[in-house]
Amino acid sequence: MTSNTLTDREALYCLCHVPGFGGVTIRGLKDTFGTCLSAWTASPQELRKSGVLTERRAEVFLESRKYESVWRKEFAGLAQKNIRVIAECDPDYPTRFLPYKDRPAALFVKGSLPENEVPSVAIVGARACTEYGKEAAGFYAGELANAGVNIISGMAAGVDGYAHRGAIERGKPTYAVLGCGVNVCYPRENYKIFHAMEENGGILSEFVPGTRPAAMNFPMRNRIISALADAVIIIEAREKSGSLITADFALEQGKEVFALPGRANDPLSGGCNRLIQGGANMLLSPSDVLEFLGMKYERKLTIHKFSQNRLAKNENLVYASVDSRPRYLEEIAALCGLSVTECMEALLKLELAGLVFGTGNQYYKKAE
């Protein structure tokens, strides 16, 4: 039984609860009936006549109305949990979403949303990533965040979590798009970064608070990750992985895609290597992304994590082939006798150690 005191914002919250209702359906109902309140309170006859819903979906919708009082009580308690509801008509709804028909009808947010005028980059990749992937995710996120770029990811285990950490460790904001409610920390291993983002950055979801993680939710949230970003970076991905779904959404949305190359025989690099083969940008330095964004890369040297004496064999070979003047990647590979892929991996580790840095366009030099 619906109430005469129901507000339009409460009606939107109720619509978001209806099983199978996403932004397209809710927007269709609102456009047809004028407001969310009118859509929520429409009679069965009006619903059938509108043709917006199939008969089965209309039955599910009408059946859901019996939970109105429960959902209104939930809605009333959101502010106490520091959860905001951002509707499409609100001024702080991300303008980056507006070109897309499948944009969320509402967002649930803890913390803040990325500012529309600040460049943003999404970093995603394998959950079961290697040390190479962890280091790369943290390094690129930290360097881009230091340059003034907002870092977006999905707070999943592996690459996502290390990307968030890379920004957090620099004291910069980072934003997580969840495949569950914003009051559900998943996976639990990321609870520290979850709480850190509430203070510096934000957590957002199109799923109502309390929604548990479900496999079908994660591909859906990937389109939001890519939509919020000006460019998407893929770090370690198998040839069939969720990260490639994000890359596909990015390409459909007209976003630039960068992929970190890896060994040809490494399954965790198969997806990235295929993306590069298909025309994605090869990621070799933070400057590659910053140049696309029209920003300058000013490398801030950090204390060396280890000395030259502790470098592994390949890193030693590469370091000995790098000069104080910039050298091209293929020239370095030829000098040290390694493949280009092996050389790139060694260069990344040397960059992380603060021993070399990229000057752009695949040129590298020793740190002074």
Single residue among 292, 324, 339 that ends a domain in this structure: 292
Q: Are residues 268 and 353 in the same domain?
A: no
Q: Are residues 288 and 341 in the same domain?
A: no
- What pLDDT is stored for residue 311 in this prediction? 65
CA-CA distance, 322 to 211, in Å (whole number)?
52
CA-CA distance, 138 to 151, in Å (whole number)?
11
- Whether 98 maps to a domain, the answer reads no
- Whether 86 maps to a domain, the answer reads no
Q: Are residues 287 and 315 in the same domain?
A: no
Q: Are residues 72 and 157 in the same domain?
A: no
User: How many Cβ atoms sit within 10 Å of the Cβ of residue 96?
Assistant: 19
Q: Are residues 45 and 177 in the same domain?
A: no
CA-CA distance, 86 to 337, in Å (whole number)?
56
Q: Are residues 253 and 312 in the same domain?
A: no
- Whether 70 maps to a domain, the answer reads yes
**What are the two backbone dihedrals, phi and then psi, of residue 151, each rounded to the nearest 5 degrees?**
-100, 125
- Whether 300 maps to a domain, the answer reads no
Domain encompassing residue 22:
1-76
In the DSSP assignment, the letter for residue 208 is P
- Whether 82 maps to a domain, the answer reads no
Q: Following DSSP, what letter does each residue of 240-268 receive, concatenated?
A: S-HHHHHHHHHHHTT-EEEE----TT-HH
Peptide bond into 286 cis (omega under 30): no
- Whether 331 maps to a domain, the answer reads yes
Q: Are residues 252 and 318 in the same domain?
A: no
Q: Are residues 260 and 329 in the same domain?
A: no
**Contact call for residues 84 and 205 (beta carbons, < 8 A):** no
Residue in 99, 108, 163, 175 with CA at minimum distance from that of residue 134? 163
User: How many Cβ atoms sit within 10 Å of the Cβ of residue 306?
Assistant: 14
- What pLDDT is stored for residue 4 in this prediction? 60
- What pLDDT is stored for residue 5 in this prediction? 87
The sheet carrying 174-177 orders its strands as: 84-87, 106-111, 201-205, 174-177, 150-153, 120-125, 231-235, 256-259, 281-282
Q: For the chain, where are the alpha helices, taking DSSP H only?
A: 8-17, 23-33, 36-40, 44-50, 55-64, 68-76, 131-146, 159-169, 191-199, 217-228, 242-252, 267-277, 286-292, 313-321, 329-336, 340-352
Q: Are residues 275 and 315 in the same domain?
A: no
Single residue among 244, 265, 292 that ends a domain in this structure: 292
**Contact call for residues 234 and 246 (beta carbons, < 8 A):** yes
User: How many Cβ atoms sit within 10 Å of the Cβ of residue 79?
Assistant: 10
CA atoms within 13 A on the CB side of 81: 18
Q: How many domains does the chain have?
A: 3
Single residue among 235, 261, 292 that ends a domain in this structure: 292
In the DSSP assignment, the letter for residue 280 is P
Average pLDDT of adjacent 10-residue blocks, the chain of 368 residues: 77 97 96 97 94 95 97 97 96 96 97 96 94 91 96 96 96 97 96 96 98 94 97 93 92 95 89 94 94 81 43 84 88 89 86 82 82
Q: Are residues 260 and 362 in the same domain?
A: no
CATH code at position 156: 3.40.50.450
The sheet carrying 363-366 orders its strands as: 327-328, 363-366, 356-360
User: How many Cβ atoms sit within 10 Å of the Cβ of residue 263?
Assistant: 16
- Whether 347 maps to a domain, the answer reads yes
